[in-house]
Amino acid sequence: MRRSLEVWKMGTVNYLEALKLQEKLASDSDTLLSLQHPPTYTVGKRQTVHNLLIPDSEFKAIGAELHYTQRGGDITYHGPHQAILYPIISLRDISLGARKYVEKLELMMIELASMYGVKAQTGQRCETGVWVDNRKIGAIGVRISSGITSHGLAFNVDPDLSYFKHIVPCGIADKDVTSLKKEADIELPAEEVIQEQLISCFVSIFGYTDVLFKNKLNL
């Protein structure tokens, strides 16, 4: 069975703009948004106040936005030099449950890390995302409504990790955050190449046969 996917390469997009676009696309064909955000903290439905290490009012002072969302998970950071994918796909059409969907997202990031000689793995029980030993390299926070996915994953290519010091990332206090740049023993290619590789992992793992690419100029 042939399955089609539209991939929108969007560059840097404000978080709220990306959120509105996801809501608009929820009734359309399967779409994958590939983008980055300006410095932004997003809070999921499992967040507790103890995971914000500075008051809400101080995030603007450090040059970042703060948004409370309806996705799963706790608090995380999005910013430049992350590879972010937001899939808007129908899990019903591919007979996939929520847990298996998240596992496939994790597998994508594990495969990407392995391309650069970095051995990544899933976390312990109740720890979603992808880890290098006890250091988190890829975060996942998804929302599924009427079988349609939104939000998605963020893979740390070479972000400014100091932004994570203002939160307890994903609500896990005793583990660090890392990046592909820190973990790989080889020089990384341009970030656009890594983003393309992550898209290719998505297409392969989710079994799409027809892929249409759009960039910011022709959306």
Q: Does the annotation place 84 within a ligand binding site?
A: no
Q: Does the annotation place 81 within a ligand binding site?
A: no
Q: How far is it, in rounded angstroms, from Cα 174 to Cα 135?
A: 10
Q: How far is it, in rounded angstroms, from Cα 191 to Cα 189?
A: 6
Q: Does the annotation place 2 within a ligand binding site?
A: no
DSSP annotation string for 59-95: TGGGT-EEEE-SSSS-EEEE-TTEEEEEEE-BTTTTT
Q: Does the annotation place 77 within a ligand binding site?
A: yes
- Catalytic residue selected from 32, 66, 118, 170: 170
Q: How far is it, in rounded angstroms, from Cα 122 to Cα 110?
A: 8
Eight-state DSSP code of residue 167: B
Q: Does the annotation place 71 within a ligand binding site?
A: yes
Q: Does the annotation place 72 within a ligand binding site?
A: yes
- Our measurement of the distance from residue 85's CA atom to the centroid of its chain's CA atoms, rounded to an integer in Å, reads 5
Q: Does the annotation place 61 within a ligand binding site?
A: no
β-bridge pairing 176-177 and 135-145: parallel
Find, among 113, 89, 109, the residue nearest to 208 by Cα: 89
Q: Does the annotation place 140 within a ligand binding site?
A: yes
Q: Does the annotation place 11 within a ligand binding site?
A: no
Contact by Cβ (8 Å): 85, 106: no
Q: Does the annotation place 110 within a ligand binding site?
A: no
β-bridge pairing 40-43 and 82-88: unpaired
Q: Does the annotation place 74 within a ligand binding site?
A: yes
Q: Is 126 a catalytic residue?
A: no
Known binding residues for substrate: 71-78, 139-141, 152-154
Indicate which residues carry an active-site annotation: 170
Known binding residues: 71-78, 139-141, 152-154
